[in-house]
Structure 1
Amino acid sequence: MYIFAKQNEGLFLINYDPGHIAQCVRAQSPKAIIVDDAHIDTGRLNMLRQLRTQIGAGFRIIA
């Protein structure tokens, strides 16, 4: 996954604070955000989808 992220301008979700995520997305404009172990807490995916809509971002979510 690390190589995929590097080659495809993706970032790993390691911080779950929406404000911090929004700041990073605005600064780095990733094409994708990768969520490891998304099945453990599906709320993370919901939060990420909502955030993507709120800030008008176009990144893909890979879980």
Structure 2
Amino acid sequence: LEEELILPAYDYTLKCSHVFNLLDARGAISVQERARYIRRIRKLSFEVAKKYTEKLEEGVY
């Protein structure tokens, strides 16, 4: 995101979410870790969406 690479950042967010779901389904993470991962992925997806809408307003996408 620091280099304004929106689509790779979005792809990374999806991968993070998928890996989290795999770990969660297998019971490999604790309740505290689960909440922390959800917050991190939510923050990442928010930042990606924010940058994307900024680029939309600039007419890049």
Higher RCO by CA contacts (8 Å cutoff, separation 6 or greater): 2
Bigger radius of gyration among the two: 2
Instruction: From the two aligned structures, give the one with the greater strand fraction.
Output: 1
- Give the TM-score band, short-chain normalised: 0.3 to 0.5
TM-score after normalising by structure 1: 0.35
